[in-house]
Amino acid sequence: MTVRLGELAVRFGCRLRGDPQAAVDSVATLGSAQPGSVSFLANARYRRFLSTTRATAVILEPRHAADCPTAALLADNPYATYARVAALLHPLPRAAAGVHSSAVIAPDATIAVSASIGPHVVIESGVTVGERVVIGAASVLQQGACVGADSWLAARVTLCRAVIIGQRAVLHPGCVIGADGFGFAREADGWLKVPQLGTVRIGDDVEVGANTTIDRGAIEDTVIEDDVKLDNQIQIGHNVRIGAHTAIAGCVGISGSTTIGQRCMIGGAVGVVGHLTIADDVVVTGLTMVSRSIAKAGVYSGALPADEARVFRRNAARFRHLDEWYRRGTQGGGEPSDSESEEESDD
């Protein structure tokens, strides 16, 4: 699709510096852009590519306009404007409405006429699929699941019984919504399964990454509020609640019955212990273990940075005796204990 810069400026509310008749038909990074493409500057890290870009136009903040050698679309939030331009220039193919002949649909399921049901999809009894929903190939919607209008299940998505998905949701391949939570009672001779009777309720505008799992509640429901964004391979335990607009990076685990506030940002591979409450606007950096509730907005960390193994191992050996060392130090001692010198050599 080809669009003139003038039209982009009008449509997306930018100020244009340059020829409104110049045309673009694709987006590109600053470094690899060619004439005909529009690029953007949103991350200071990439500013060094600006002066030599071959793009026809660059979307950037007004304060960088002076450094831009090409036409400029000036925007307060260049990344958001870029996203809109990219969606306009590169529209995705839309699946045609209708039910593929290989899909297996229960007679009492309710499927909107405008919905698209792909090949080898399974839709069980009592399921509801809203207007313009796309259910990608090989997805399974179990009894009573419900998918709101304009949602997209990419392929191989599993919705277990009674799971509720809001409108405009995006669910990537392999995600599993509503499997049993991990609940067992310990008895003398082993574990007894605790029935998982709640379901999962997902709000509007939620995105769920590939192979992410969200467990159904034990008694009440697991709840994902509106506009929550979940990356790939996240595990969310039963009875968790995640507040609106919170974004969670890949490989995070949230244990059961924990509540995460609104607008939080959780870094990759973070682990959150069960039964905690995390306030609104909390940022947790990657690989951190959150083992207590967080009552105050702010940035929290807990992972040591990588070091040369030789150096790290020595420091870790000292760590194993930190308390001992401290107590000795404040009591006037200070001799290394035998175990410490040993420590260094035995891995």
Distance CA 12, CA 4 (A): 12
Angle formed by the axes of helices 338-345 and 309-319, nearest 10°: 150
List, in sequence order, every residue forming a beta bridge with 71; answer none if it has no partner.
57
Sign, Cα dihedral of 93, 98, 99, 105: positive
Subset of 92-111 contacting a second copy (CB under 8 A) = 92-93, 100, 102, 104
Q: CB under 8 A: which stretch of 12-20, 59-67, 108-116, 244-252 binds a second copy? A: 244-252
Looking only at residues 288 through 307 of this chain, which bind a second copy when binding is defined by CB under 8 A?
288-292, 294, 298-307
CB-count burial class (<10 Å; 0-12, 13-18, 19+) for 278: buried
Q: Should residue 285 be labelled a site residue for a second copy when binding is judged by CB under 8 A?
A: yes
Is residue 218 within 8 Å of residue 181, measured between CB atoms? yes
- Residue bearing tokens 């964004």: 229
Q: Answer for the pair 54, 34: CB distance below 8 angstroms, yes or no.
A: yes
User: Using CB under 8 A, which residues numbered 1 to 20 contact a second copy?
Assistant: none
CA nearest neighbour of 244 among 260, 264, 228: 228
Nearer to a second copy, 23 or 122 (CB): 122
- Which of 238, 245, 275, 321 is labelled catalytic? 238
Residues in contact with a second copy, counted by CB under 8 A, come to a total of: 131
Torsion angle (degrees, nearest 10) of CA 255, 256, 261, 263: 50
Q: Which residues within the stretch 108-137 sit at the binding site for a second copy (CB under 8 A)?
A: 118-120, 122, 124, 136-137
Residue window 47-76: x/- pattern of binding to a second copy, with contact defined by CB under 8 A: ------------------------------
Stretch touching a second copy by CB under 8 A, among 4-12, 13-21, 108-116, 188-196: 188-196
CA–CA separation, 51 vs 47, rounded Å?
A: 8
Q: CB 136 → a second copy: shortest distance, Å?
A: 8
Residue closer to a second copy (CB basis): 23 or 86: 86
64 labelled catalytic: no
In the complex with a second copy, the residue whose CB is nearer, 62 or 173, is: 173
- Which of 131/180 has CB closer to a second copy? 180
Return the active site residues.
238
